[in-house]
Structure 1
Amino acid sequence: MPPAQPDAPAPSDVPAPSDASGRPQGPTSLPAAALSTGAVARRLGVSPTTLRSWERRYAIGPARREDGRHRRWTPADIGRLELMCRLTAQGVPPSEAARAALDAAAGGSGEARPATVTPGGSAALPLGEVRAECRGLARAAVRLDAPAVEHLLDTALAELGPVVAWEEVIAPTLHAVGRKWASAGERYVEVEHLLSWHVSGALRRMRPAPRRYEVPPVLLACAPLEQHSLAVEALAAALGERGLPVLMFGPALPAEALREAVRRTGPRAVVLWAQSTATADHALARAVAGIEWGPHGARGHSVLLAAGPGWGPGVSGPRVERLFGLRSGLVVIERITSAPAPRATAAGPATPDACGS
């Protein structure tokens, strides 16, 4: 799916002609470009409600409006807002940040206040070339603007779907926070925690589609020592969107609890997530793949899908497969769930022919 483009700028009017004395005739021209409130909100990483609140409280709204039409923000208007956002991200109260941004725009004394602010702000996350939604989410997270983070996440998931939203908006922002945290010592841990909390909540708020067909569930869990579960939460949301039943057990599921859950539910596939080599339990993966369940004579087994960078290239074993990424992982899981259920025979367990990575 191609990246969504921001709202198209409003075309500028043709400059009014002049008479012989040089005075303009007719209406004066409008600014060359103007964005809607929604487009500006996405760009800055704030909610439209926040922009309207700032306009009412601090008079930092568009310098010009057209009668009977929505607000249109020019580059100069957006520049004031960007400066205000950078200042609030550094802890400046909104009222003071608004005054400084307005003074700077007017060439007043307020320009000296943000003189130490570098383009993008010293708190800006290292994002590179990303979607506008990603940049807005990063700005909101750095400001610790929880309502804006929640709004931007819900909007991205609703408009883009869980796969694109995860791969092109959420994951790049999480990775950027991690890089910033790694380079800044203990700083930005609060940003990571706030963002992770709201990502988890937004993914769980997604309503699953009706089941397409009755199949055993896909069991999702993290390895016993693994505390990071956002990736499997994104997988749960994506499977739910496709109408596939999911059993989510979240982070740090004890080994025996995982084995017991497999025996009791008979899942078609078990996804076991490990983010680091320290949490990847290869012996557990092979043991879960070897579990058989069901009545004698009609026993079945699950396919163990090792997901996450912690497993490395060496994970292997009968009925153990590797998942690489959300999008390709969905293809593997859908293929497994659409195939006939694998059954163990007297000659030994059958390996399903629908696996792959």
Structure 2
Amino acid sequence: MDRVPQTPPQPQPRPAAALSTGAVARRLGVSPTTLRSWERRYAIGPARREAGRHRRWTPADIARLELMCRLTADGVPPAEAARAALGIAAGERRAGAAAPAPTPGGTGALPLGAVRPECRGLSRAAVRLDAPTVAELLEAALAEHGLVTAWEEVIAPTLHAVGRKWATAGERYVEVEHLLSWQISSALHRIRPAPEPPRTPPVLLACVPGEQHSLPIEALTAVLGQRGLPARMFGAALPVEALHDAVRRTGPRAVVLWAQSRTTADPALARSVAGIEWGLRGARSRPAVLLAGPGWSPDGQAPRTERLYGLRSGLAVIESLAPPRAVTGAAGAEPFAYGS
């Protein structure tokens, strides 16, 4: 008699990973205190706890919280939103349906695409105009990922999503962009720079005349400070003569000019800055001029200028630049590299 073939045991699917309260808070854009308050007041807590009474939130738990966040963002009182979220989840369990996937939604959701969970949490807090939570989430992202990664993978995608949202919604969501921009700028300004090496030429950073968008070069200024590279940030819409004077007075390693739009980018300005000289005759120095921002055309780049693309690569370009050549004055004098 032939043996009946035995069906090999099938591997059991692994249970979905459960998240801590802090991780869920960052994903949803609320504070951990808010989650604990919702659990206490509305019984919308996690399905299980680990040893030591630590809360662990499953995908089904998070889905209920996602729904509650969407409802409260649309103006539903928290108590009603919790009852609705719990009622829908209970109905789905009775019907044998799978728990809804924790995906963003609601009328105020931003078009984010595939991004980090922290990015979704930041966008939700910004849409709610929840400034304290926005500040808390920014600090957490900067502490966990570092400035460069936090900017590229959390902050910048959220800013772009807000911009796309209000561009397609008339004048709506402008307040969201302003609040988010202010909180990002404040977080960047709280980053303390490392001590500057003595007698090291700085990097000058400025928006071209007429340009008001300065956040990207604020981020670059902050990361240069972290690396101990002296930086002089002049902010939005620096007048031409003021820029020329600053270059002559400091003899910089590089000048970064930011232009957000084609209407503000000025190749003639870039050429004029690239032509500025300082130092004694026969040993003149000129700055490296770095053009940053989407306003600069990829064609027709001015001589002695270079484009920057992104915070990480821009930082690498600046770090690779040799400082201006030191010029020796009268006999016995110390060398100097700054302009007059």
Range class of TM-score, shorter chain: 0.7 to 0.9
Question: Which residue of the other structure, out of 157, 174, 196, is the alignment partner of 1:172?
Answer: 157
Partner Cα separation in structure 1 for residue 37 and residue 198 of structure 2? 47
SS of equivalent to 1:272: strand
Matches within 5 A, 1:16-55: 33-55=17-39
Q: TM-score, normalised by structure 2?
A: 0.81
Give the aligned partner of residue 144 of structure 2. Answer: 159
1:51-98 deviation line (CA, Å, top 9, x unaligned): 123333433322443563311223332222111110122122334323
Using structure 1 for the length normalisation, give the TM-score.
0.78
Secondary structure of 1:60's partner? Answer: coil
- Percent identity over the alignment is 77
Determine which of 224, 244, 269 is the counterpart of 2:229.
244
Matched with 2:259 is: 274
1:231 is displaced (CA, Å) by: 0.7
1:131-164 CA deviation, whole Å, 9 max, x = no partner? 1221221222222221221111111111111111
Aligned to 1:71: 55
CA distance in 1 between counterparts of 2:144 and 2:201 reads 29
Q: Distance in 1 between matches of 2:145 and 2:48?
A: 33
The 3-state SS of whatever aligns with 2:210 is coil
Kept in 1: contact 2:262–2:297 (CA 8 A): yes
The residue type paired with residue 19 of structure 2 is L
DSSP 3-state at the match of 2:205: strand
Kindly state the Cα deviation for residue 331 of structure 1 after the two structures are TM-superposed. Answer: 1.3
- The residue type equivalent to 2:121 in the other structure is G
User: Aligned AA for 1:53?
Assistant: S
Q: Pick from 234, 242, 247 the counterpart of residue 219 of structure 2.
A: 234
What is the alpha-carbon distance in structure 2 between the residues aligned to residue 76 and residue 200 of structure 1? 36
Which protein has greater RCO, CA pairs closer than 8 Å, 6+ apart?
Answer: 2
Distance in 1, matches of 2:249 and 2:324, equals 20
Structure 2 CA distance for aligned equivalents of residues 81 and 303 of structure 1? 51
Matched, 1:222 2:207: yes
Determine the C-alpha separation between the residues in 2 that align with 1:291 and 1:302: 7
Which ranges of structure 1 fall in alignment gaps of 5 or more residues? Answer: 1-30, 109-117, 344-357
Structure 2 residue matching 1:278: 3-state secondary structure: coil
Aligned match of 1:181 in 158, 166, 178? Answer: 166
Q: Partners in 1 of 2:104 and 2:243 — Cα distance?
A: 49
* Residue aligned with 1:54, SS: helix
Tell me which residue corresponds to 1:58.
42
d(CA) in 1 for partners of 2:115, 2:293: 23
Distance 1:320 1:65, change over 3 A: closer
Which residue of 1 is the match for residue 188 of structure 2? 203
Calculate the aligned-residue CA RMSD, in Å.
Answer: 2.5
Counterpart-to-counterpart distance in 2, 1:263 and 1:300: 10
Counterpart AA for 1:51: L
8 Å Cα contact 1:271-1:305 kept in structure 2: yes
In 2, the alpha carbon distance for the partners of 1:158 and 1:54 equals 27
- How many pairs does the alignment contain? 304
Structure 2's unaligned 5+ residue stretches are: 1-14, 93-102, 328-340
CA contact (8 A) 1:209 1:242 kept: yes
